[in-house]
Amino acid sequence: MPSCLIVDDSKVVRMVARRILEDLSFGILEAEDGKGALTTCQEKMPDVILLDWNMPVMNGIDFLRTLRSSENGDQPVVIFCTTENDMAHIREAISAGANEYIMKPFDRAIIEAKFSQVGVL
């Protein structure tokens, strides 16, 4: 079973994403900020990371840059999932190493489409 780490400071968003992804046969891990996500990745690198941008402690883009420069940090597929819905943020995320980008609000169709595009579904 592939694993997906959901990183979002909103409990509701984590719950909605978990329901969709569990239904798509992913094993789910959760973190509420970038720092917590790094700790999880150090313990066991997930296959996919669904990543919010604006979070306390460490935001999504700082987490991604740290992840990509760490050992085995190039392995997970990272999909941003954020309310930052403009081209500047999209470009910044992709150049920092994100594989895909979801603009909130999302639904099951969007999650399925994006996960399918990056080859994890």
Look up residue 47 and give its DSSP letter: S
Among 97, 117, 120, 121, indicate the residue that binds other proteins (CB under 8 A). 117
Tell me whether residue 1 or residue 87 sits nearer to other proteins (CB atom).
87
* CB nearer other proteins, residue 57 or residue 74: 74
Contacts with 27 (C-beta within 8 Å, 6 or more apart), sequence order: 1, 2, 3, 4
Using the rule CB under 8 A, give the single segment among 21-29, 33-41, 64-72, 94-102 that binds other proteins.
94-102
CA 3 to chain CA centroid, Å, is 12
The answer to whether residue 24 forms part of the interface with other proteins (CB under 8 A) is: no
First to last CA, the chain: 11
Q: Please identify, using beta-carbon distances, which residue of 29 and 106 lies nearer to other proteins.
A: 106
Instruction: Select from 10-18, 24-32, 33-41, 86-94 the region that touches other proteins (CB under 8 A).
Output: 86-94
Residues 6+ apart with CB under 8 A from 43: none
Q: Is 96 in the site for other proteins (CB under 8 A)?
A: no
The C-alpha atoms of residue 34 and residue 111 are separated, in whole angstroms, by 21
From the CB of 117, what's the least distance to other proteins, in Å? Answer: 5
Q: Which residues lie closer than 8 Å to 14 by C-beta, 6 or more apart?
A: 6, 8, 30, 32
Q: Is 119 near other proteins (CB under 8 A)?
A: no
Q: Which residues bind other proteins (CB under 8 A)?
A: 85-87, 90-91, 94, 100-103, 106, 109-110, 113-114, 116-117
